[in-house]
Amino acid sequence: MAFKDYYNILGVKPSASTEEIKRNYRRLAMKYHPDKNPGDTFAEAVFTEIAEAYSILSNPKDRETYDSRNNGSFNAQFNSATVNTGQAVANLIGDLHSKIASSNHFGINQDALLFQINQILSPQNIQLLQHLSQVQRLFVITQLVYCCSPLFYPRAQKLSPELFAIAGDDDTARSAINVFLKTSLRASKWHKYKAILAIVLAIILCALVFLFR
């Protein structure tokens, strides 16, 4: 089990007040609540994470214990039950890949999916992945590209620095990322133009109905 940065999960600084923690929790809970995302396992997983983070940080004693255990550092610290090998991180990516493969891509809460991918691709985990062999890293990139496929281009693009960092100087892996980004951009443009076309057609139909009624 990886170290969980509860402050990062709730989007607050370690110095945040109890009221700020509560306010951010309520905002995120409303966004990812299962009732607002029926059947979306990704939103449900994020809701579970933020509820767990809030249960710790909203309790003064639990928060003090958490802060003490992690020495006040929430960017590069791991506890005793940590993901400490590249293969362990790759396994997390594999689990996410399987989860997406069994889900309806159109019903996925994109913010929730982006949240989960960002949790896996922490700076520390990226460093671990960089120590894998070239073949292993290419396989990881292939799985990550698939995991990112339900995301619209603006969200997918946000992950490109992490993907390229894992790929390193592997031309094949970098090419796979570039192809994915170009495909995602084309799909994004098509969705945009499709919406405009639908509006134009609706206006034309309304005009025809008005003229020939």
DSSP character string of 155-179: HHHHTHHHHHHHHTT-HHHHHHHHH
Q: Are 176 and 204 in contact (CB under 8 A)?
A: no
- Under 8 Å between Cβ of 8 and 14: no
Residue-wise pLDDT tens digits, 76-131: 333 333 568 999 999 999 999 998 988 887 778 888 899 889 989 989 899 999 99
Global confidence as pTM: 0.69
Tokens encoding 15: 């110095």
- pLDDT tens per residue, the chain (213 residues)? 456 789 989 989 888 999 999 999 999 999 999 998 888 888 999 999 999 999 999 999 999 998 887 754 433 333 333 568 999 999 999 999 998 988 887 778 888 899 889 989 989 899 999 999 999 999 999 999 999 999 999 999 999 999 999 999 999 999 999 999 999 998 877 766 655 656 666 677 776 666 666
Distance from chain centroid for Cα 172: 24
